């Protein structure tokens, strides 16, 4: 159970006509760094890092790899602290932590493969039998977006079984209100609807937007202001009755402690592939649990990221416990991404608007399609 080799793969899919934009940029490709950790007895564990694949790969190859060879895969807490400390003075956030996330997720996958147990059991046990997937979509495909296209996309998610949707906003306050109104009218009152402006606003414009969409029964507003603007989060949170979420651009339990202490956010969204893997996720969850602040993981990436997010979502506690605890929402990006759909040969099943707890499987419960990696590998 000692680490004998580490391989990094950068895979990339060109989107062509399926390019789309959110409030900050266009997406023309899906490019991801996948990590494989191999042990001395021939097992492989898989991880993934969010963000710039080439920088993440460089961190693994030049900073972490030599520290990892020979380590015991069960020493996840020790390894996390060692790698973090090795770049601490200049890498408390960003690619150093995203790369660490990939390492940590692969180690948890291996721990599960050695013990023949699913990762959610190793993380402390499954707390629920079902979670509610929500469709992340309704991106814009033109800077002069036709609301009819968003409406028909939203309706298609409902038809395919989703009971919750998150739409991209942040394209101007008046534009956001118009699009939210059109989508809410089309999907009816029963469907959970969230909005995500990806920090396109300052506090005063975010409050205007929030007030404008309050009549449309919005479950949460995600990242209304930039991640550094904690005071802005507090102002928006105080000004609207819609819950405020955020945290996908925050790193490690150290970073989340500041958000939690500031009571800046109603719903924390740590991402296992960003914030330092499942080890960091469990530490963040402990802080959130003590502060009694809801968490729903942010998920964006390949089938490996989806699997890590699933195990995190099934294992985390309720905030707080109750006879009828709150739902756990799970993010499922619906934009074009062959790595999300195909890298794991075990497809994700949505049944009656829910994802069921995986009953079998070791580690992350994924079977990697190595041919797909070969086909799309670059660099």
Binding positions for Ca ion, rule: CB under 5 A: 196, 222
Question: To the nearest whole angstrom, how small is the minimum distance from the Cβ of residue 199 to Ca ion?
Answer: 9
Strand pairing report for 294-295 and 329-333: unpaired
Question: To the nearest whole angstrom, how small is the minimum distance from the Cβ of residue 197 to Ca ion?
Answer: 9
Question: To the nearest whole angstrom, how small is the minimum distance from the Cβ of residue 74 to Ca ion?
Answer: 33
- CB nearer to Ca ion: give 45 or 247: 247
- CB nearer to Ca ion: give 192 or 196: 196
CB-based burial of residue 228 (10 Å sphere; 0-12 exposed, 13-18 middle, 19+ buried)? exposed
CA distances from 156 to 131, 183, 198 (A): 21, 12, 23
Q: Which residue is nearest to Ca ion (CB)?
A: 196
Q: How far apart are CA 99 and CA 97, in angstroms?
A: 5
Question: To the nearest whole angstrom, how small is the minimum distance from the Cβ of residue 213 to Ca ion?
Answer: 16
Residue 94 neighbours by CB distance under 10 Å: 18
Considering 116, 140, 199, 298, which one is annotated as catalytic? 298
Q: How far apart are CA 263 and CA 210, in angstroms?
A: 19
Structure tokens at 54: 């080439």
- CB nearer to Ca ion: give 222 or 235: 222
Question: To the nearest whole angstrom, how small is the minimum distance from the Cβ of residue 223 to Ca ion?
Answer: 6
Are the C-beta atoms of residues 225 and 199 closer than 8 Å to each other?
yes
- CB nearer to Ca ion: give 94 or 224: 224
Are the C-beta atoms of residues 307 and 107 closer than 8 Å to each other?
no
The answer to whether residue 199 is catalytic is no
Are the C-beta atoms of residues 317 and 289 closer than 8 Å to each other?
yes
- CB nearer to Ca ion: give 266 or 369: 266
For the annotated catalytic residues, the residue numbers are: 298
């Amino acid at each position: 159970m000692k680490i004998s080799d580490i391989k990094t793969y950068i895979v990339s899919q060109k989107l062509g006509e399926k390019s789309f934009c959110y409030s900050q940029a266009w997406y023309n490709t899906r490019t991801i760094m996948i990590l494989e950790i191999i042990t001395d007895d021939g097992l492989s564990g898989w991880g993934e890092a969010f963000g710039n694949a080439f920088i993440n790969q460089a961190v693994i190859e030049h900073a972490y790899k030599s520290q990892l060879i020979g380590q015991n895969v069960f020493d996840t807490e020790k390894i996390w602290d060692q790698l973090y400390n090795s770049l601490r003075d200049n890498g408390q956030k960003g690619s150093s932590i995203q790369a660490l996330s990939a390492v940590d997720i692969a180690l948890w996958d291996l721990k599960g493969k050695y013990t023949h147990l699913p990762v959610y059991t190793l993380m402390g046990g499954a707390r629920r039998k079902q979670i509610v997937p929500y469709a992340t979509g309704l991106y814009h495909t033109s800077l002069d977006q036709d609301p009819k296209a968003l409406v028909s996309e939203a309706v298609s998610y409902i038809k395919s079984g989703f009971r919750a949707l998150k739409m991209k906003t942040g394209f101007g306050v008046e534009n956001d209100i118009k699009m939210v109104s059109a989508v809410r009218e089309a999907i009816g009152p029963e469907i959970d609807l969230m909005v995500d402006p990806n920090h396109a606003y300052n506090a005063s414009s975010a409050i205007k937007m929030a007030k404008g969409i309050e009549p449309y029964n919005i479950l949460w507003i995600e990242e209304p202001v930039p991640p550094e603007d904690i005071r802005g989060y507090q102002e928006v949170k105080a000004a609207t009755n819609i819950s405020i979420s955020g945290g996908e651009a925050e790193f490690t339990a150290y970073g989340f402690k500041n958000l939690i202490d500031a009571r800046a956010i109603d719903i924390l969204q740590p991402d296992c592939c960003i914030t330092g893997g499942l080890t960091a996720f469990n530490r963040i969850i402990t802080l959130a649990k003590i502060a009694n602040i809801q968490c729903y993981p942010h998920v964006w990436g390949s089938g490996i990221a989806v699997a890590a997010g699933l195990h995190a979502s099934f294992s985390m506690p309720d905030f707080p416990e109750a006879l009828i605890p709150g739902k756990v929402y799970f993010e499922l990006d619906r934009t074009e991404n062959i790595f999300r759909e195909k890298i794991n040969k075990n497809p994700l099943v949505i049944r009656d608007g829910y994802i069921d707890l995986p009953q079998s499987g070791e580690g992350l419960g994924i079977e990697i399609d190595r041919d797909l990696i070969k086909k799309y590998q670059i660099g």
